[in-house]
Amino acid sequence: MEQNILVLGDSGTGKTHFAVQLFGRLFKSSKAIWKPKSTPENLEIFKSGFDKLAKGLQIDHTPSAFHQDIAFHVVNQHNAEINFTYPDYAGEQLRNVVNNRSLNKAWQDRITASTSWLLFIKINDIKQVEDIITRGMPEYGIISKSRAVEEQGSFQIGDQAFYTELLQMLIRIKGASFLMAGTLPPLTIMLTCWDEYRTAHPGIQQPADALKDKMPMFYSFLTGNWPQGALNIIGLSATERKLDQDTPDEDYLDNGPENYGYWITVDGREEKDLTGIVSLIYHE
């Protein structure tokens, strides 16, 4: 059976590092369950990524002018096939989708054809808003009533509302309905740069707890709508450590990038085999 995974993520959430590391594994490992079906049509983005990691360097940010879809196909021995599609690879458009409240034809087609969604969120970068609930005003009169409007210029919809609205819109375009949970495409939330998150939050083991802690309203939206088996919240550290743009990582040079990177399973276990993510996403 063929499955189409729609890969979604804001710019800078680590989509390229994941693709390069995963593809490296699929190409190089003889033990991998999943094999590349064919070389991606547009190898450019992967080629420079492979080279960077082989040099022990961070992959450059995908230029926002790169308005192309990237697709790669993998198969297993039972001929199960998964197609990963990255619409508008650079990811900048994702914000526009929500801000402009409209999706162009290319986006609509991708959504319609997709059978499952993979959403990248760089969890450590999510800002928790400090508002009247988290930090109260003990004295009367601190609040100014008159200057209300001037400061509103920098308003931007918050992260929790952004991701909630994005998924609400995609569900609508897909023709699915929250009233019929069976119509919702299976969803995997990939919390990236888990190494950074783990250093900052040593007490939290499970990716779902990390999401609940940082984005409680979005977490409630997800768990309230997606049936248990159709929602996976996992962690990913594609490179295992922060790589520099200029100074090569000596260990990377010696051991090769394929020996770095891990993911965190739904129940909080660390797994080295990144291809396990593909098996997790694949729904029978």
- Contact status: 172 vs another protein (CB under 8 A): yes
The residue whose two tokens read 């526009």 is 96
CB of 142 to another protein, least distance (A): 8
Instruction: Rule CB under 8 A: choose which of 79, 152, 229, 246 binds another protein.
Output: 152
Task: Find the binder of another protein among 135, 182, 203, 228 (CB under 8 A).
Answer: 135
Tell me the C-alpha distance between 271 and 64, whole Å. 32
> Kind of pairing, strands 81-86 and 2-9?
parallel
Contact with another protein (CB under 8 A) among 30, 38, 77, 144: 144
Please say whether the beta carbons of 179 and 126 come within 8 A: no
73, 37 in Cβ contact below 8 A? yes
Contacting another protein (CB under 8 A), which of 39, 44, 60, 104? 104
Q: Which of residues 208-237 bind another protein (CB under 8 A)?
A: 212, 216-217, 219-221, 224-225
Applying CB under 8 A, among 54, 161, 231, 280 the residue interacting with another protein is: 161
The rounded distance, in Å, linking the Cα atoms of 226 and 263 is 22
Quick one: which segment of 66-74, 147-155, 238-246, 247-255 binds another protein (CB under 8 A)? Answer: 147-155
What contacts 24+ positions apart, CB below 8 Å, involve 107-111?
107/173, 108/173, 110/6, 110/69, 110/85, 111/6, 111/170, 111/173, 111/174
Angle at which helix 159-174 crosses helix 216-225, to 10 degrees, equals 20
**Rg from Cα positions in the chain:** 20
CA geometry: angle 15, 281, 49, nearest 5 deg: 25
Closer Cβ to another protein, 65 or 132, answer by number:
132
CB of 49 to another protein, least distance (A): 31
Enter the DSSP assignment of 257: G
Comparing CB distances to another protein, the nearer of 79 and 134 is 134
Binding mask 12-31 for another protein (x = CB under 8 A): --------------------
The interface region with another protein, picked from 4-12, 143-151, 201-209, 252-260 by CB under 8 A, is: 143-151
Q: Toward another protein, which CB reaches closer, 83 or 225?
A: 225
Distance, CA of 278 to CA of 30 (rounded, Å) = 16
What is the binding site for another protein (CB under 8 A)? Answer: 101-105, 108, 129-138, 140, 142-145, 147-149, 151-152, 154-155, 157-158, 160-161, 164-165, 168-169, 172-173, 178-179, 212, 216-217, 219-221, 224-225
